Each structure stands twice: as C-alpha cells, then as structure tokens.
C-alpha cells in the first residue's frame, strides 16, 4: 500500500513541477524572454523529463486505453518518426551541396 502511495505522490509532484515549468515558459514567451523557436525545444525537454521519470503513469495510461487507441498512438508515433527522418535527410542533402 505504501508503494502505491509513493508512486502517486511522485506522479503528483512531477506533474506539479512540469506545470510550473510550462507556466513559466508561457510567461517568458509572452514577455519576449524566450524565443518562439526555443520554446518548442523547452516544452519537448520538459515533457521528455516527465515521461522518463514517471513510467508508472505511462503504463497506467497505456493499459487504460482501448486497442484502437493504442494502434492510433503507435501510428502517430511512427508517422512523426518518419517525418523527422525525412527532414534530417533533406537537411543533410542541402548541407552537402556546394554553393554557387
């Protein structure tokens, strides 16, 4: 029972810290302290940390989904992965071309 309470407390604390970080980033974006291009990287980093540090939350969310939702989520992930791979390949090709 105490292990379950510990995981619940950990997830709540992590969610609170992530929320505070996202709110501070939104304020920084509105005030012009954070560049819009950097904001996406920071949000990705915050969400990445949350995902890495709370596997219990991910597993419970995954097991609570129906099969078609899991398939759709995997399809979205594969699509984003392919899109990122294609973007990296086009950047490398542009960088390899000689100017002029």
Q: Residue ranges of the domains in the chain?
A: 1-64, 65-100
Residue 99 pLDDT exceeds 60: no
Q: Taking the model in full, what pTM does it have?
A: 0.46
With tokens 């950047």, the residue in question is: 91
The candidate with the shortest Cα–Cα distance to 48, out of 22, 82, 13, is 22
Give the three-state DSSP class for 65.
coil
Pair of tokens at residue 75: 């399809």
Asked if residues 72 and 80 have their Cβ atoms less than 8 Å apart, the reply is no
Convert 34-45 to b/e letters by CB count within 10 Å (16 or more is b): beeeeeeebbee
- 32-91 pLDDT tens trace: 887 877 877 888 887 787 777 777 667 777 788 899 998 998 999 898 888 888 888 877
Pair of tokens at residue 38: 């950097």
Pair of tokens at residue 94: 């542009």
């Amino acid at each position: 029972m105490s292990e379950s309470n510990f995981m619940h407390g950990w997830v709540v604390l992590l969610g609170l810290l992530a929320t505070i970080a996202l709110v501070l980033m939104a304020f920084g974006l509105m005030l012009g302290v954070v560049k819009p291009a950097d904001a996406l990287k920071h949000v990705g980093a915050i969400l990445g940390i949350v995902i890495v540090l709370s596997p219990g939350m991910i597993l419970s969310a995954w097991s609570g989904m129906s099969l078609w939702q899991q398939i759709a989520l995997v399809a979205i992930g594969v699509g984003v992965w392919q899109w990122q791979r294609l973007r990296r390949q086009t950047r490398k090709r542009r960088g390899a071309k000689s100017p002029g």
